[in-house]
Amino acid sequence: MNFGVYGFGSIGRLIARVALERGFSLVGVVDIDPRIVGRDAGEVLGLEEKLGVNVSRDVSSLRGSDVVFHATGSYLDRVYKQVLDVVDIGSDVISTCETLAYPYYRYPVLARLLDERARLRNVAILGTGINPGFLLDTLLVTLSSSIPVVKSIRAVRSLDAAKRREPFRKKIGVGESPEVVEAKLRSGELTGHVGYAESVLLVADASGLNLERVVEDQHPVVAEDDVESNDVKVRKGYNKGIIGYGSGYVGGREVIRVEFKAYVGAPEYEEVVIEGLNHIITWRSSGTPGDSGTAAIVVSLAEKIKGYGPGLLTMADLLPFKPFIKYDINNPLRTPP
């Protein structure tokens, strides 16, 4: 399979390495960083041999790719033109853009336009990754499908920010004043985690559940004492990361909740708790590396995406499972709309 990469930062490079290891052939790479434009992609990746593909600013260099892995930004309105340009050269697009995981929530018009253009060009577009895309949505759908009637789903992902890339620590404000971080989160200067609502809505969509409202929020975590992990130090009183959540409600009741905890020294795990009518199941992991997990997810979908037909897809469209969530547990005859 021929592939291209749009956005050759740390995630784009990791995706390229995984794709090459799995036998894909690199056709083109697009980026705007003057430090790497014009250089051989193999050299940028630190490979022993050159790949004969130079990093370019021109999207036409991706022509001939069966799929293009897109990894440049979190918000669809800022990367919409990039995705559209790839669609217009006739390649499928798998993007790590978090809000593209369920674009109908924040960008319904852009979602419709992308779907129309993708169908016209006979290609598919999919936003996915480790989170949103897998840990707090696809995994929940899969696990809850084994419960005959689900009352509620709750999932938590916790990770030690000190073990993640510096750009990640910057976007959650590690080491800054909590008041400054709070203000930057509200203004959008800091993104924190993007995708709480998208994960909730992916679970709801896969379940055929029409949520009446979705709530999401996140806030800084103040270090109560000096804390150090993996050579990253945060002084007492300063921000060591973020905690956030997304919740989906039907009939005034919270039925889906996802939580994300990312701070220096945090325990590493994922936990899913599914409450059924008669029993509760709990699934827990020892933690999932986010960057390599993202690369593995998007590359594993590359060869399968064409089989789902053209258009704008979500992970809910790809899943064979459909959990049954009963939003009114007091009326056994009442089912979700």
Share of the chain above pLDDT 90, in %: 95
pLDDT at 337: 46
Handedness of CA 187, 157, 111, 30 (dihedral sign): positive
Share of the chain above pLDDT 70, in %: 97
Average pLDDT rounded to a whole number, residues 260-279: 96
Does residue 334 have a pLDDT over 80?
no
The β-bridge relationship of strands 213-222 and 92-95 is unpaired
Tens digit of pLDDT for each residue in 67-85? 999 999 999 999 999 999 9
The mean pLDDT of the chain is 95
Does residue 331 have a pLDDT over 80?
no
Helix (H) or strand (E) holding 227: strand 227-229
pLDDT at 283: 98
Whole-prediction pTM: 0.95
Q: Calculate helix-pair angle for 290-302, 10-21, nearest 10 degrees.
A: 50
Question: Distance between CA atoms of 288 and 278, rounded to whole angstroms?
Answer: 30
Does residue 195 have a pLDDT over 80?
yes
Average pLDDT rounded to a whole number, residues 300-323: 95
pLDDT at 9: 96
pLDDT at 238: 98
Question: Distance between CA atoms of 330 and 97, rounded to whole angstroms?
Answer: 39
Residue 73 DSSP SS3: coil
Does residue 15 have a pLDDT over 60?
yes
Q: Rounded to whole angstroms, what are the CA distances from 311 to 52, 70, 157, 211, 306? A: 32, 16, 31, 24, 10
Does residue 220 have a pLDDT over 90?
yes
Does residue 335 have a pLDDT over 90?
no
Question: Distance between CA atoms of 199 and 314, rounded to whole angstroms?
Answer: 11
Average pLDDT rounded to a whole number, residues 187-205: 96
Does residue 327 have a pLDDT over 80?
no
Contact 53, 27 (CB under 8 A): yes
Contact 251, 327 (CB under 8 A): yes
Residue 104 DSSP SS3: coil
For each of the domains in the chain, give its residue range(s) and CATH number, in order of start.
Answer: 2-129+295-318 (3.40.50.720), 138-288 (3.30.360)
pLDDT at 330: 65
Whose CA is closest to 138, among 330, 311, 296?
296
Structure token pair of residue 249: 């409600």
Helix (H) or strand (E) holding 204: helix 196-207
Average pLDDT rounded to a whole number, residues 165-181: 95
Report CA 14 to chain centroid distance, whole Å.
Answer: 15
Q: How confident is the model at residue 289 (pLDDT cuts 50, 70, 90)?
A: very high
Q: How confident is the model at residue 329 (pLDDT cuts 50, 70, 90)?
A: low
pLDDT at 333: 41
pLDDT at 248: 98
Q: What is the dihedral of CA 99, 103, 106, 109, to 10 degrees?
A: 140
pLDDT at 326: 87
251 vs 82: which has the higher pLDDT? 82
